[in-house]
Chains A and B, each alone.
Chain A
Amino acid sequence: MRVRSRQALSQTARYIIACVALVFFLFPIVWIFLTAFKTGDEFLHSPPVWIPHSPTLRSFTHVIKTGGLRSLMNSLIISSSATALSLIIGSLAGYGMARYKVGGTNLPFFILSQRFMPPVAVIFPFLIVFKALKWVDTYQALIIIYLTFNLPYAVWMMRGFFQEIPVVIEESAMVDGCSPFGAFWRIALPLVKPGLVATGVFCFIFSWSEFFFAVCLTRSKAVTLSVHLANFFGKMMVMWGEVGALSVMAMLPLFFLSFVVQRYLVRGLTMGAVK
């Protein structure tokens, strides 16, 4: 649209810069993926071998046998439960705030502000309480503590999505005798389905990647992928192939999910501030 001659940069310069950036941003990811398929001789070779000569799945099978599969299942269970819980409670509250203006604008902003709470500020009370309940190293401990960041997020996002759909349909349904909850469940919720899915995917991503709470509250039974990776690293200092394999297992679902929500990516990452 802009006049070609007035562009500050030529198209070629743009491509050169974009390609340099591409190499910089992709190199570490490519490297860890390649490492996952290298043999022991290759990932412990100095100077490093870049491309594995005969790609092997040995690191993957070893990781799976040494608790990798279990940590994958743990991550899956914890992240999906935390997501489901946040979505249910969050969409109810988001609906109440969007439609009935419960708490005006102060309550939603207050709840959003909790999203920025540093995890270190709440971990010690949780540790003391969970110790007393014998909940350390259990699923429920992490599922509950993940509400501290997922619930404020879900409420805020869902409030935004509900505000965007017209009220008229719900109103006419209520005139026809639909209960307020019925209006929410049967009319409003189906209308915000894409938003609900996007919010859920983001909650899942946040829980899946979470490390601080997981490392503080798990020991052996409920370790998530992120903590298992750290443990693996501590025990076997130079097993880079295994670290790579576990990293691939941890990151592929994230890359896939980001593809699913690409339309809502910026909105989701900026908590609705940029649409």
Chain B
Amino acid sequence: MEGFMGEAANTVSPGSGRRLKSGWFTYRQKKRITPWLFVAPCVVIILLVTIFPTIYSFGLSFTKWEISLPNRPFIGLGNYAALFKDVRFLHSILITAIVVVVGVGTEMFLGFGLAQILSVKMKGKRFFVAAFLLPVMAMPVVVGYTWRLLWDAMYGPINQIIGWIIGQPFQFTWLAKTSTAIFAILVTEIWQWTPFMFLVYLSGIVSLDPELFEAADIDGASGWEKLRYLTIPLLRPIIIVALLIRGLDALKFFDVIFALTGGAPGNSTETISFYIYKTGYQFFRLGYGAAASFILLIALVLILSYLLKLLKTVME
């Protein structure tokens, strides 16, 4: 505690340490308390809205909380044990992993490629950048419903365009088959977030020192060599930060599933978040859902700490 205050004195020093008595506190006491007064409301609210619910949820995960039960018995690790035998839950982990790995991975490559392509001076660049931004700003639920319409067998333009290409009417219900439904989900995710990666990488590439590239040019480096030995190593921290933000977000993937497939066909496109939503809102099994959400939270913390460690080594 003392250490922080010592630092505080270095940062802002309101007058000297005179012992002025005003109100209930001496000047010195006031000087110590003031910094905390700025932060206190925030800390209290964070405790109330995130820490307390997390602890509550953790407690909930050890109970059998179901709407039909009059009381909520403590069942220890029962929910967790059941979850690891729950095929539907395990499948939702797989779908989430596909979205995070394939979806975010593809976004990274496409976004980087696009940023590289648009990093030079060209006419109309501002227009392209502004237009690419729109998917990022679009509301995820709207995006889900829009793509649902685009994939629609009868009223969607995708089948129509394929029909033009193959020269005969084409009617395929993309969202009725698991494999194509997953493909549709990935396309939606990639559509919405590739521009985010693009934007972040573009601002990274633009901020690189042009002298380095001029020097490389003088040394006769090829475009590929400059990319491989200059751009990518220099951008590594930014690449990781973008992956971190997108990856953690994709881990909570919910809105698009809700709007695009609703978990269908069957339950085969449910993500973890969507399954937990269903355990709570369709089956009213809050203890079970809380246990599942804790598994998600632990996965998230592990991924976050791994990426932060990676970021630290890269920054050094």
Q: Is B one of A's binding partners?
A: yes
A191: CB under 8 A from chain B? no
CA distance A153 to B247 in the complex (A): 17
How far apart are A74's CB and chain B's nearest CB, in angstroms?
A: 15
**Segment at the interface with A among B75-83, B97-105, B177-185, B191-199:** B191-199
How far apart are B127's CB and chain A's nearest CB, in angstroms?
A: 9
> Which chain A residues border B38 with CB–CB below 8 Å?
92-93, 95-97, 100, 102, 184
A265: CB under 8 A from chain B? yes
Partner of B196, one of A90, A104, A116, A269: A269
User: Interface digits, A20-43 against B, CB 8 Å rule (1 contact, 0 not)?
Assistant: 011011101101100100000001
A211-B258, A229-B142, A270-B245 as given contacts; A151 in contact with B135, CB under 8 Å: no
**Segment at the interface with B among A60-68, A117-125, A192-200:** A117-125
CA distance A167 to B10 in the complex (A): 11
| A92:B41 contact, CB within 8 angstroms | yes
| B117:A18 contact, CB within 8 angstroms | yes
Give the interface size bracket for A toward B: 35 or more
Partner of B137, one of A24, A35, A258: A258
A31-B157, A96-B36, A118-B300 as given contacts; A266 in contact with B199, CB under 8 Å: yes
How far apart are B159's CB and chain A's nearest CB, in angstroms?
A: 8
> Which chain A residues border B3 with CB–CB below 8 Å?
104
B34: CB under 8 A from chain A? yes
A6-B223, A89-B45, A230-B259 as given contacts; A240 in contact with B122, CB under 8 Å: no
How far apart are B287's CB and chain A's nearest CB, in angstroms?
A: 9
B42: CB under 8 A from chain A? yes
A134: CB under 8 A from chain B? no
A77: CB under 8 A from chain B? no
| B132:A216 contact, CB within 8 angstroms | no
| B149:A31 contact, CB within 8 angstroms | yes
How far apart are B284's CB and chain A's nearest CB, in angstroms?
A: 10
B66: CB under 8 A from chain A? no
Partner of B199, one of A28, A31, A265: A265
A81: CB under 8 A from chain B? no
Quick one: which of A90, A95, A274 has the most chain B CB within 10 A? A274
CA distance A185 to B249 in the complex (A): 35
> Which chain B residues border A211 with CB–CB below 8 Å?
139-141, 254-255, 258
| B277:A216 contact, CB within 8 angstroms | yes
A8: CB under 8 A from chain B? yes
| A28:B147 contact, CB within 8 angstroms | yes
Query: A residues 113-169 with Cβ under 8 Å of B?
Result: 113-114, 116-128, 144-145, 147-148, 151-152, 155, 167
| B241:A270 contact, CB within 8 angstroms | yes
Partner of B300, one of A116, A151, A258, A270: A116
> Which chain A residues border B289 with CB–CB below 8 Å?
120, 124
CA distance A16 to B203 in the complex (A): 22
> Which chain B residues border A269 with CB–CB below 8 Å?
136, 196, 199-200, 245
Chain A residue with Cβ nearest B36: A102
> Which chain B residues border A221 with CB–CB below 8 Å?
none
| B150:A148 contact, CB within 8 angstroms | no
> Which chain B residues border A127 with CB–CB below 8 Å?
280, 286
B168: CB under 8 A from chain A? no
Query: B residues 1-46 with Cβ under 8 Å of A?
Result: 3-4, 7-8, 11-15, 34-39, 41-43, 45-46
A236: CB under 8 A from chain B? no
B95: CB under 8 A from chain A? no
> Which chain A residues border B87 with CB–CB below 8 Å?
none
| A229:B150 contact, CB within 8 angstroms | no
| A151:B131 contact, CB within 8 angstroms | no
A120-B293, A243-B145 as given contacts; A144 in contact with B49, CB under 8 Å: yes
| A215:B258 contact, CB within 8 angstroms | yes
| B137:A205 contact, CB within 8 angstroms | yes
Chosen A-B contacts, 14 in total, with CB atoms closer than 8 Å, are A14-B117, A31-B149, A31-B150, A96-B39, A101-B4, A102-B38, A119-B273, A120-B254, A120-B272, A124-B60, A155-B42, A167-B12, A215-B258, A257-B137
Interface residues in chain B, defined as those with a beta carbon under 8 Å from any beta carbon in chain A: 3-4, 7-8, 11-15, 34-39, 41-43, 45-46, 49-50, 52-54, 56-57, 60, 114, 117-118, 120-122, 128, 130-143, 145-147, 149-150, 154-157, 159-160, 163, 169, 191, 194-196, 199-200, 203-204, 210, 213-214, 217, 222-224, 227, 238, 241-242, 245, 248, 251-252, 254-255, 258-259, 272-273, 276-277, 280-281, 286, 289-290, 292-294, 296-297, 300, 304
Q: When A and B form their complex, which 10 residue pairs have the shortest distance between CB atoms, in order from nearest?
A: A96-B38, A8-B223, A100-B35, A93-B42, A125-B56, A122-B53, A125-B53, A96-B39, A174-B14, A46-B154
Interface residues in chain A, defined as those with a beta carbon under 8 Å from any beta carbon in chain B: 1-3, 6-9, 11, 14-15, 17-18, 21-22, 24-26, 28-29, 31-32, 35, 43-48, 50, 89-90, 92-93, 95-97, 99-104, 107, 111, 113-114, 116-128, 144-145, 147-148, 151-152, 155, 167, 170-171, 174-175, 180-181, 183-184, 205, 208-209, 211-212, 215-216, 225-226, 229-230, 233, 238, 240, 243, 247, 250-251, 254-255, 257-258, 262, 265-266, 269-271, 273-274
